Amino acid sequence: MANSRRMNLLFGGVVTFLGAVALVSAYLNRDLPVVQDAPRSAAETRLPEGHPPLDLANKLEALEQMSRNDPQNADYKVQIGNAYYDLRQYQKAIEAYQQSLAIRPQDPNVETDMGTCYHFLGQPDTALEVFDRVLRYSANFPQALFNKGIVLVEDKKDIKGGIAVWEELLRTNPNFPQKAQIEQRIRQLQATGGL
């Protein structure tokens, strides 16, 4: 009984002491401003024109640092190129893809994405050169055939050439995911007299 009473007194003393410390601290800091997170206005949270979303900007910064630390890692260059592609900064994407290809040549995925960048930059002839290069070392690479057809139809207005490329795509890649859309597009072009 005496031990439990002593424990209660000790506990009460500690609580009283901590309470006194809190009161003294509050009194001594009474004139200091209270720092609170003020709600931000929409203008404060907007990023400058052309700035990538913060998560992508942080990812790019991290990738570029990893690439500097391991300059012979082609995968980092590809990921940097893909990030710039997603940001529609096609010239920067091309530069990163070229760096990757200097390390690991003849990557049909990378070169096809690079060709697509040229398409978006309004350089259809260069895009076609890239797609043709891919198709020389990776015959019937589906994405290169698909994109080549787009460039031929949309940029070069070569409907017959574009349809021929897409028909080759469907013949050599019968399970291509966009098969139905390509068949429909071919029918539309043929029906409108695009031939």
* Per-residue pLDDT tens digits for 55-84: 777 888 888 888 888 889 899 999 999 999
Contact 103, 97 (CB under 8 A): no
How much of the chain is in helix, strand and coil states, percent to nearest 5?
Answer: 75, 0, 25
CA atoms of 130 and 29, how far apart (whole Å) = 69
pLDDT of residue 50: 55
27-44 burial by CB neighbour count: b if 16+ within 10 A, else e? eeeeeeeeeeeeeeeeee
* Per-residue pLDDT tens digits for 122-165: 999 999 999 999 999 999 999 999 999 999 999 999 999 999 99
- What is the CATH topology of the domain spanning 52-105? 1.25.40
pTM, two decimals, is 0.70
Phi-psi region of 52 (alpha: psi -120 to 50; beta: other; left: phi over 0): beta
Alpha carbon separation from 133 to 18, 91, 97, 130 (Å, rounded): 77, 19, 15, 5
